[in-house]
Amino acid sequence: MAQEAAGWLPEETLSLWKREQARLKARVVDRDTEAWQRDPAFSGLRRVGGVDVSFVKGDSVRACASLVVLSYPELEVVYEESRMVSLTAPYVSGFLAFREVPFLLELVQQLREKEPGLMPQVLLVDGNGVLHHRGFGVACHLGVLTDLPCVGVAKKLLQVDGLENNALHKEKIRLLQTRGDSFPLLGDSGTVLGMALRSHDHSTRPLYVSVGHKMSLEAAVRLTCCCCKFRIPEPVRQADICSREHIRKSLGLPRPPTPRSLTQRPVACPRGDSGESSALC
């Protein structure tokens, strides 16, 4: 989601952002708040949202913000909206939300006003939640401001609170043998900040799942796995596709070749005898 090009920021602005993070962090709920979250098959969950911000190549300001809503458990797109935006705030590690969340919040608010029947019951975010330098990543920020359950799904390990992508961590990853296998990310503080999850049988690279808002870590991990046709959860993957396609059309660029990863066979969420999604998916 983020373009990793650090920018300079006045100290007073950083202090303001830190105070705002601390104020909003106090509102984070890290437990299940909806009945469907406590159901082994997520009965009652009908709509799952995903958000993404993609950049114009070679441009750290012009970008496209996207929101998609998928049906659940079918994982078919029922709503999508993209818009070109100008990111005026610089990228500063640990403060991504101040750069991107305002535009994502506008997309959610627009949907809430125009088509409330399509509002997602949960949002999956390409980024971290409580797995963050100050325990308040972009998934927490967006969750609190939208008042929606939110899950952080990162592709790389954020090395905070003693977490390191070292030999021990890589050995734990190697032991993730099948889809749904996971291990906790235990920080030096003694806090479990998230889970490393193998989301697809054909990918050995884990996802790093953390609580954003209004959802337990256990439910967040199960939901993430159930939303994966490929390695990346379908709501996040579709939001990324949507944003990149919008950029291509807006700039009149040629269509890129299909990535090899998209030719992998999608994996359906395992189902029990009743036809409902398995608790282990």
CATH of the domain at 37: 3.30.2170.10
Q: How many CA atoms lie within 13 A of 63 on its CB side?
A: 23
Q: Is 198 in contact with 225 (CB distance < 8 Å)?
A: no
**Proportion of the chain above pLDDT 70, given as a percent:** 89
Q: What is the pTM of this model?
A: 0.89
Q: Is the peptide bond before 270 cis (omega within 30 degrees of 0)?
A: no
State the pLDDT confidence band at 203, using cuts at 50, 70 and 90. Answer: very high
Q: Is residue 38 a part of any domain in this protein?
A: yes
Q: Is residue 33 a part of any domain in this protein?
A: yes
State the pLDDT confidence band at 253, using cuts at 50, 70 and 90. Answer: confident
Q: Is residue 2 a part of any domain in this protein?
A: no
Measured CA to CA, the distance from residue 151 to residue 134 in angstroms comes to 17
Q: Is residue 88 a part of any domain in this protein?
A: yes
Q: Is residue 277 a part of any domain in this protein?
A: no
Q: Tens digits of per-residue pLDDT, 79-131?
A: 999 999 999 898 898 999 999 999 999 999 999 999 999 999 999 999 999 99
Residue numbers of the domain that contains 227: 14-251
Q: Is residue 187 a part of any domain in this protein?
A: yes
Q: Tens digits of per-residue pLDDT, 156-196?
A: 999 999 999 999 999 999 999 999 999 999 999 999 999 99
- Altogether, the residues listed in the chain come to a count of 281
Beta strands in the chain (DSSP E): 47-55, 62-71, 77-86, 123-126, 150-154, 182-186, 192-197, 207-213
Domain count, the chain: 1
Name the more confident of 60 and 2.
60
Amino acid (1-letter code) at residue 133: H
Q: Is residue 29 a part of any domain in this protein?
A: yes
CA distances to 97, 142, 193, 229, 242 from 137, in Å: 7, 9, 11, 25, 23
Q: Is residue 263 a part of any domain in this protein?
A: no
